[in-house]
Amino acid sequence: MTFCFRKGVGLGGSGVLIYGRHPVREALLRGDVVERIWLQDDLAHRTREDIERLARARGVPVLHVPRQKLDELLRREAPDIPRIRHQGVAARIVLHEGPSLAELVAWVTRTRTAKGSETPLLLALDHWEDPQNVGAAIRTAVAVGAGGVLLPERRSAGVTPAVVKASAGAAHILPPTRVPNLVRALKTLQEAGAWVIGAVMDGGKDYRRADYTSPTVLVVGSEGRGLSRLVLETCDERVEIPMRGGVGSLNASVAAALLLYEAYRQRFPLA
């Protein structure tokens, strides 16, 4: 499944662009707000009829364009994807915004004394610049039912087509919360009652011994750099992932996945 995400520059609207037969079809079936669909002139008859039928039912306009026109549109809107296999189908949809920091703070405040699955589980990514890692982390966060993913506005991958592709569409389900200053955001969440747990290479407790059942923010640094000093100093607790066999570190998205699933295990224990 291939997704493309881009603010609607050149599209005559405020939407984002997706492409590929299955993503466009799923957007129509899912009830997304689809503003417009482009179909390649020589698209296979069965595919064209299927998408046109779904579009008619939703009142979505369909434009038939030559392949060259569709290629140009996608190159303009997604320049960071070198070879786009659009399969003759593209659409502009309205993507809902992720939760704001204020909304996450309010959620933490309401549940600050609670324990278990109803409390917020948030993931904060400290200066992750690799879109593949960001997308993979968002995908795992959605899989475990996390309530938010925090990304700094600077020195961090934005929600680009590559990020959405790596997330396998999860970035449509849980768009990240962009914050101007991650340290300030973490402190605001702490003041509301969240427990901030930072992942470190050494000097922390075994991550399996931490308690993730109260409102929790998991903070994971980028590969090679780890957590920045100010973020590290802000954390309430530091945890590390034990490793054997001579491996010195893990991929950042793998480390995030381990922490997220340990939190899931504690919040949804087996009967």
Which domains, and CATH codes, for the chain?
Answer: 16-94 (3.30.1330.30), 101-267 (3.40.1280.10)
Cβ–Cβ under 8 Å, residues 213 and 266: yes
CA distance 101 to 179: 8
What does the pLDDT look like over 180-208, one tens digit per residue? 999 999 999 999 999 999 999 999 999 99
CA distance 6 to 95: 10
Is the pLDDT score of 265 beyond 90?
yes
Q: Residue 74: its pLDDT value, please?
A: 80
DSSP letter assigned to residue 88: T
Q: Residue 6: its pLDDT value, please?
A: 34
Q: What is the pTM of this model?
A: 0.79
Q: How many CA atoms lie within 13 A of 57 on its CB side?
A: 11
